[in-house]
Amino acid sequence: MPTGAQNVLMRAYAARHGLLFLAPIHEDFWVRRFALRSLLEQLSEIEGVIMTSLFAMPSDQEIRHAAFKRLYESGATLHCVIENLVVHDAASIDFAEEVYMANLTISQCPRSIPKNLLPPVNGYSSFSDKGP
């Protein structure tokens, strides 16, 4: 998603929830990783972080858990706009991790089932079959 569109989404989200929106995280991977680290170091000065998506969090589970832990310990919140998810306590961290991992699992699932593996339904061998 283009950075400009992300900014519009995050600003609108912040306005709807009465949050102050200061600056976006750039979409480039290395800049984003540095910016997240920088934000985590500033948690004593800010109330939280607004991200376009939970999936902008690091893909490395250990790094992601460390970021969640840092947010939790500081009392800050993580707002994930697209998922409409607020991470603010242990239960919401667990839920966010479940959503993240479910997405990884779904991405590895088959997209279709070969016709020869489909069971007949009411005498029809497929949706295009004329049936009995």
131 — pLDDT class (breaks 50, 70, 90):
low
Which residue blocks in 85-125 are alpha helix, DSSP H?
A: 90-107
Q: Is the pLDDT of residue 3 over 80?
A: no
pLDDT at 28: 46
Strand order in the sheet with 77-80: 48-51, 77-80, 85-87
Q: What is the pLDDT of residues 91-121, one digit of tens each?
A: 999 999 999 999 988 888 888 888 788 777 7
pLDDT at 58: 87
Three-class SS of residue 102? Answer: helix
Q: Can you tell me the mean pLDDT for 58-66?
A: 89
How much is the pTM?
A: 0.69
